[in-house]
Amino acid sequence: MDNIMRYKGYWAEIKYSDEDECFCGYIEGLKEDVISFEGETVKDLKRDFKNAIEDYLKICKELNKEPEKQCKGSLNIRLGVELHNKVKMKSIEKNISINELIKNAVSAYLKMN
């Protein structure tokens, strides 16, 4: 089951609030801004999700502010010493950067799953 909604390059994990008896979500990964939405039905949820993003983009435009993106394209990971050494040796063996090796590995993993 896919619990993720997508719209205009933004995505959110959908949850159900038993207390409020509604579906809800928020755009994850934003540091400065908060975009949340909810709905009692899936139809209401989708409408509120799209409206929340449209409102956010409209406000950013009015304020002449660049809308935040959820992912910046860079990621810090902690591999541990042993794995880091193995990755470094493999990158030297393949004559590519550690970054390129990790990108290739993640891409291959995502294609498999």
Cα 14 to Cα 36: distance, rounded to the nearest angstrom: 11
What pLDDT band is residue 2 in, cutting at 50, 70 and 90? Answer: confident
Q: Are residues 58 and 24 in the same domain?
A: yes
Tokens of 108: 């291959």
Q: Are residues 45 and 86 in the same domain?
A: no
Nearest CA-CA partner of 10 in 32, 24, 31, 30 = 30
54 within some domain: yes
73 within some domain: no
33 within some domain: yes
Cβ count near 35 (within 10 Å): 19
71 within some domain: no
Query: Which residues, including other chains, have CB under 8 Å from residue 46's CB and lie 6 or more apart?
Result: 5, 39
Residue 1 confidence (pLDDT) above 90? no
Q: Are residues 41 and 9 in the same domain?
A: yes
pTM (two decimals): 0.73
Which residue has 């009015």 as its token pair?
Answer: 62
Give tens-digit pLDDT for 16-43.
999 989 999 999 889 889 999 999 999 9
Domain coverage including residue 94 = 81-112
Q: Are residues 58 and 85 in the same domain?
A: no
Q: Are residues 15 and 58 in the same domain?
A: yes
